[in-house]
Amino acid sequence: MALALRYVDKKGQVNEPFIGLVRVSDTSAKSLKEALTLIAIAKKHKEVETFFAIVTNVLNVIGVSFKRRDQLREHQAELLEQLLESSEVQTGKRLNQERGLQRPGDTRWGSHCKILDNFVILFSSIVHVLGVIECEGDVNDMLQAEAFSSNIKAFEFVFLLHLMLKVLIMSNELSKALQKKEQDIINAMVFLDITKERLQEMRDEGWEPLMDEVSSFCAKHDILVPKMEEFYIPGTSKRRPSSVTYSHHLRVELFYAVIGLQLLELNSRFDVVSSNLLLGMASLNPANSFANFDKERIMTLAKHYPDEFGELKLRDLSRQLDTFIWHMQHGDPRFSDLKGIGDLAKALVEANLVETYSLIYLLVKLT
C-alpha cells in the first residue's frame, strides 16, 4: 500500500504527498466491497469457501471451450421452451433473453449475485453439459465432470446456493451505493441499515421459507433431500456420520452461521463511530448546492474531535453553520459548482472566508 500524508495547506489545497510503501493486504475498493459480501464469509466458513470453489470450477469447465458454451445455449433454448409451455416464466424480451454464465474472476464486484442467480436458473443446463462432458470428454475431463456433477447435485450445495444468493441479494443495494461517489455516503448508510435489518429478519423468520424453496428445487431436479432428524454425513456417504443431525447442521452451522458472519462483518466495518464520521463528512459535501447538508450530523462529527471542539467551540460552530448554509444555498457563485470537500476548503480560502467560518474550515481540514 502507498502511504501518503493528507493535509490542507494555507491556500486551502488538499495535498497528499507520497511517503513510502507499506506491505499490507489488498485495500482496493474492489477488495473492500468483496469483503462486505462473500469473501469475508468464505474465509471464515469452510463450507462456504468450498461452495464457491465448486462454483468457480464448474464455470471454468463449462466455459473452457466454445463447443461447451454452444451446448449450454442449445440446451438452454430447449429448457426455455419447456418453461414457456408450462407457464413458469412470462414472455418478454428481457425475461427471455439468453442468460450466460460468467466466471467470478472475469467480473466486477456485485456480479457474484448475478452468477448465482444464473446458476439457479441454468442448473439443469449445467447438469446436462457436465453429462455430455462425462460421455464425450477425455479421461481427465470425464473425471472432473463426474465429480462436479456429483458436487452440485448434493443437497448441501443446493442449500448453500440458495442461501448465499439470498444473502447477496439483500446486500446488493448497499454494494451499489458503496461504488458511488462521496455524496452518496448517506444513501449507503441508509442501505447499510436496511441490509442489517433484512438479514436479521431472515435469521429470525427465513428458515422455513428457505427450506421450502430448496426442497422444491430439489424435487424439480431429482436431488435427494436427506431426513432432517438423521445424523449429518459430511461429504460422501462412505464417511461416518457426525454427532449432529442434518437439521442442526443446516440451521445452526450454515444458516445461522453465515448470516451471523455477514452481520458481524457489517457491524465491525461500520460501527457507530465510523458511521457518524462518514455521515458527517457527507453532510459537509458541497456537491449539488450542499444537498446533503445536515447540521446535526456535522455537530456529531465535530464531537469526535474533543481536543479541537470543546463545549464553547461547539456552540460557536452551531451558530456558524446556521449562517454558513444560508450563505451557501443563496446563490454565491463562488460555491455553486463545487464537487467535494477539497473544493470547499480551497474555495473558502480564495473567497477570504477562512476567518469568518474558521470553525467550519477547521472541521473541513480535519476530515
Spatial separation of the C-alpha atoms in residues 124 and 75, rounded to whole Å: 9
Which residue among 269, 291, 323 closes a domain? 269
Mark whether 335 and 265 lie in a shared domain: no
54: Cβ contacts below 8 Å, ≥ 6 apart: 148, 151, 152, 157
| The pLDDT of residue 173 | 84
Mark whether 104 and 49 lie in a shared domain: yes
Three cell numbers, residue 42: 468464505
Mark whether 159 and 283 lie in a shared domain: no
Mark whether 225 and 300 lie in a shared domain: no
Q: Do the beta carbons of residue 79 and residue 99 sit within 8 Å?
A: no
Mark whether 76 and 97 lie in a shared domain: yes
Residue 23 lies in a domain: no
Using alpha carbons, list the distances in angstroms from residue 102 to 16, 172, 313.
Answer: 38, 18, 55
Mark whether 233 and 148 lie in a shared domain: yes
Q: Do the beta carbons of residue 38 and residue 164 sit within 8 Å?
A: yes
Mark whether 242 and 331 lie in a shared domain: no
Mark whether 62 and 145 lie in a shared domain: yes
pLDDT averaged per 10 residues in sequence order, the chain, 367 residues:
46 46 39 48 80 88 69 67 46 45 47 85 89 84 90 97 93 77 68 92 97 97 95 68 88 95 83 75 85 90 91 94 91 84 88 92 87
| The pLDDT of residue 355 | 93
Residue 16 lies in a domain: no
Residue 296 lies in a domain: yes
Residue 96 lies in a domain: yes
Q: Do the beta carbons of residue 279 and residue 294 sit within 8 Å?
A: yes
Residue 247 lies in a domain: yes
Which residue among 269, 284, 304 closes a domain? 269
Q: How many domains does the chain have?
A: 2
Judged on CB neighbours under 10 Å (0-12, 13-18, 19+), 17 is exposed
**Residue 128 main-chain phi, psi, to 5 deg:** -60, -50
Mark whether 141 and 71 lie in a shared domain: yes
Residue 215 lies in a domain: yes
Which residue among 247, 269, 291 closes a domain? 269
Mark whether 151 and 225 lie in a shared domain: yes
Residue 205 lies in a domain: yes
| The pLDDT of residue 106 | 39
Mark whether 96 and 149 lie in a shared domain: yes
Find residue 172's DSSP bridge partners.
Answer: none
Strands of the chain, DSSP E: 2-4, 7-8, 14-15, 18-21
| The pLDDT of residue 142 | 86
Mark whether 106 and 221 lie in a shared domain: yes
Structural domain range at position 122: 38-169+200-269
Residue 8 lies in a domain: no
Three cell numbers, residue 103: 466466471
Q: Do the beta carbons of residue 130 and residue 148 sit within 8 Å?
A: yes
